[in-house]
Structure 1
Amino acid sequence: MRAQLAFFVLLALAVIAGPQVFAEPLTRAELERHLPQPYTLGDPQNDKGVYKLINIGGIDAGYAFETEPLAPLPGFSGAPINMLVLLDPDGVFLDVRLIEQNEPIFVSGLGEAALRRFLEQYAGRSITSSLVVGSPYGAESGGSSLVYLDGVTKATASVRIAHESIMGAALAVSREKMQGLSLDPPAYPDPAHEEPLTWDDLVAQRLATRLVVTNAEVDAAFAGTLWEDDDPEARADPDGVYLDLWVVDIGPPSIARAVLDDDGFAELQRFLQISPNDEPLLLIESARHGLVGPEFVRNTAPDWISAEQGGFPVALRDADLIFDLAPDVPEGIAMILRTDRRLGFDPIRDWMLRLQAVRRHGVFQPQSGSIEFSINHATDDRFFLRPQAAAATPPWLSALRDRQTDMILLAALLAGLVGVLFFRMNQLAGTRLFTPIRLSVLALVIGFVGWWGQGQLSIVTVLGSLRATVDGGSFAFLLYDPFSLLIWAVAILGFVLWGRGLFCGWLCPFGAMQEFAHHAGRILRLPRLEPTGRWDLRLKSIKYVLLAGMIATAVLAPGQVDAVAEIEPFKTAITTLFIRDWYYVAYAAFWLAAGMLHFKGFCRYVCPLGAVMAIGGLVRGRDWIARRPDCGNPCQLCRVKCNYGAIGKTGEIRYSECFQCLDCVTIHNDDRQCVPLVLAKRPPRREPFKAASAKDMAS
């Protein structure tokens, strides 16, 4: 207990005494070392490290800047990924180069080469394009306006942070140095504005705008191309309507009530409560064009539809809402798209919606071609309010939605596990199937939580949070991995209910792998090696010493944090599935092999995250393992059976070392194992009969 309190004091002193380091731009000389030929730096443009970019002959080539001072989104090490961006005067990326990063997956997992290859994709791309990290749905993205950047397997969250940093910094420079973007914060619907409106009112006031395209107009647009004869229906009926589109911004409640029925309006309001920064846009198409292609997937960006405002793209995404229209609204295919106002969309400024008409030529390997039709729309400012300043909110919501299914399954698993352990722990420990049940849960943790969900918690997150605290930075990097964040939340809840045992005993994928290794050792009848009680206590202090060293490293030499974090074999065994350099694989394999001879030695003696969990367990609110006066004196059965050495000779539970395996709970409640219960079941001992002696009779 005293050792753990000492580490709390050490952590507090580290946070207080650590240097307050904020993101400062590199010096001109430092930045020039990263510049590719033939560029040089010109005059500085501001105090955030933005320079004019000069080409051969002194020609103005655009701008050069770092991402960290302009868009300091922290990565999983707690520090931003810093990149050099070269942007031409038209907003086209000339180059993006890595300056510095400490992302654990790239430091010693996949290597920096994977990140550098990802950054090479930006050259030639425009910030006016809808750049998306990922892959298009379906076999062909024909006609889609989205520009896809190939992500990095097992590092999706990290490259998304890099992408958001690049785009955030580039748009910041564009807004300041280039024409086309409004610097005013975007307006948002006024919830207090009430106005009775009908569909006819919306049309008359241009709150609903219409685009009609005939078959003849489509044919004329494709004339002279490979696809001019690939729409027989248009050729047969030139006066027929090909596209009949209505566009309505339904963010303002008064407008939404005019176009949606009561249930649809209520569904929209529920959506806006969850996503208050999204502007919903209603599209209704009643002709033969439709709104999306056959490869479209709900809750993704529409493949045939794009938008722009002020020359810059507007990110659109299906809101995935089910609704019906009001009776007087034109019938047709309807969908609600959403766009995030925080990314610059201003609903009261004129914006343009584009729809692609896509044709395919050929049968076996068709070639796709497209043309665009556009319609301008703006909503009257009486429905909106404009904030004084835009709140800088990290783009965490898409990360959460991208893992929606995983999050639901994980939440169900965690809720079920916590519920059973809290309300039915004794029944669970008492069932004869307890061991198969426990091993099934641990197998699920390895497969789903670890390998699939990449939810292995790590000391890196703790040190990254410490570094963010010391540097005065943001903790937003935690939101980019909502899957792990949910496990953290439940682990912290477990501190109060059980101490460290919930995570270390049930939710740690590498801990589960060690437990399976132990069972394999028993099946193979390998010898079991156990230190004496005194040495067991000494060895358990190692993890606290390692934790202290890592805290000191995070404060005094933050650049070495990722190197010392390799004490954990988690990245090798879980994140990369043993696909790493041989010495990392050998290190992880050593601990698993050792687990066959010695029960979970890494967890008990070395794991710095386990030390953090043990310290956090000091907030445990109760002694949840029942004890009897006979426990420890004379009964020693639970102590002997405890694989973790978490029970003292006097019978007390050392909760800082308890992994919640429930073995002692099973013994305590079993009248066939617990010695005091076994003795209590025995009938009272009767004294044997003795014949009275003559002396006794005389007396």
Structure 2
Amino acid sequence: MRWLVLLFVLLSAPLRAEPLAREALAALISAPYALGEPLNDRGVWSLLNSGGGEAGYVFETGPLAPLPGFSGQPINILVLLDLDGAFIDTRLLGHNEPIFVSGLGEAPLRQFLSQYRGHSINQPLVVGNPYGAGSGSDLVYLDGVTKATASIRIAHESILAAALAVARERMQGVTAGPPPRPDPGYAETLDWDALIAKGLVRHLRVGNAEVQAAFAGTKWADDDPEAAGDPEGTYLDLYAVDIGPPAIARAVLSPDTLAEIEGLAALALDDELLLLIEAGRHGLVSDAFVRNTAPDLLGAMQDGLPLALRDADMLAGLSGDIPEDLQNATRMILRLDRRLGFDPSRDWQLVVQAPRRHGMFQPETGTRDFTLAMGLPDRFFRFPERAAPPAPPWLDALHNRSTDLMLLAAGLAGLFLLLWRQGWLATRRRFTVIRLAILAVTIGFVGFWGQGQLSIVTPLAVIRSAVQGGGLAVLLYDPFSLLVWVAAILGFLLWGRGLFCGWLCPYGAMQEFAHHLGRRLGLREWQPPRAVGRALLWSGPVALVLLVATAFLAPQHAETVAEIEPFKTAITTHFARPWPYVLWAGGWVAVSLVWFKGYCRTLCPLGALMRLGGLLRLRRWIPRRAECGSPCQLCRVRCRYDAIAPKGQIRYSECFQCLDCVTIHDDPAQCVPLRLQARGRRLAA
């Protein structure tokens, strides 16, 4: 008998898929995402966003969860998971399921996989009737495929098992391996009574009255006549035994079943087996259950994340000393894969669903959960040496960009020093050349290379997270942009908006170069009438209010509305986007040939937010004289930002810190009051 079991398991064991090579995998990732670096040797990669920051994880189900399909081979699916455990995409890579090869075709399977987008691994995802998603039920139903129930459920289990393995290791720091394994050399004399007394068998009894109380006040309250008619009766009488350790398995299983278990354990080294005995009327599974798949009324949790349960497809014979009433009870053996993060030596929970259906046509399903605490003592297991927990993703990001960060920090320190001594800088003969050189570095290094283009999306996300009680750790995943933000905020307090808008915004620098090109080409410079220009200043605050309202009232459209910023198109994707986006971003650069930085001065929502710097700055850093504005108007006429009032005051909320007025103020050859003073001295002499 044993050799037949070994032969069956050997023939039905899935072939472990090799992960795709980097080039093949990268070709499957669509914008705005990109493939990052490998995170382990089992095909898990980091997923990067358009700014180069970590956005999630990329992996295949075949190497991580090689669950055998109907063909005996795994269904390999590409999964993109974000940092919060939500599915970004699921895509079929390979399979040998007969129903989809020569029957229905692959289209229904691909359509099924598209349903995962937007759902989370923390949700109770089940394959079944969508009409069950009535109020009072926390289940999220995925439409299955008629005539392919087994294959669809196996694909579903593969996705969840692989995703949960990644979630445990990457999101919670619980490494997926090496797991503890039962110690075959540990011997302990046990029988049923000893197992009960030592807590090695866990028992959960739920009476009819308890189930009634759980559904009280819902539409399902009267949908179980048996529970209502016999409140003292038993609904669930469940015994659960972890039979992975041989000492426990010998105490509860018949010799034939024990031989089958030993044969399976010899090949499936990472499977932990669980024996369930149910003497009530619950029955453990529904009529729609398909053997060798996940039980539809049972679940398991550890560390706050679901575990992947799977039917072992075995008939469980019990040892003779188990009570007779349990010998005739419903029995089931389940498998849990230790490679997917399950640790049987730590506390975990078995979850039993009590379902009820309301209505005759398209009935609505409601469920209530009852939980049984599980876990075995360490003495039954061997513990391999565990590797140190992985470093948090933000620390990896910091390490990976250490050189860029040092160069950026040095450059920012130098820029701060120059702007602190702005009088010295503005009087240099080559000031324009120095400024354009710094702006070129801003475009090339800060923008295209470092992806440090700041966006209004970030402060909106921070505000929304703070209001909703979320964390801000996501900012650490892009340390380069975070350092630019720190510099911008510090400059915001010292000089207002000028530091970022005038020196550190790559898109703004592109517009300034475009304007210089327009002068070289002899194009006539254009300025809107003063009244129109002042009115256009309100377009930025209006865009900002629109974005804020969308982020809080219609967050599903926030990303679309944020396209009012051309930064993603111009800097992040280097204009490699559909033509409407390229036309919007490139059009504003082209406008700057004749209208100096028109976008920055009007429509930019981030610039509108930065205008607050005019109120919050700590000092008046631009020097003024009594004659500025009356009678001298030279600085105001020369200011291309229209940031100087007719009476000579600086409008700091509109000043981009170009230092042109400082150059005039300190130049005896340009400043009218200085020239008049010099002339007076010459006449007096």
TM-score (norm 1): 0.47
TM-score (norm 2): 0.48
Larger relative contact order, structure 1 or 2 (CA cutoff 8 Å, min sep 6): 1
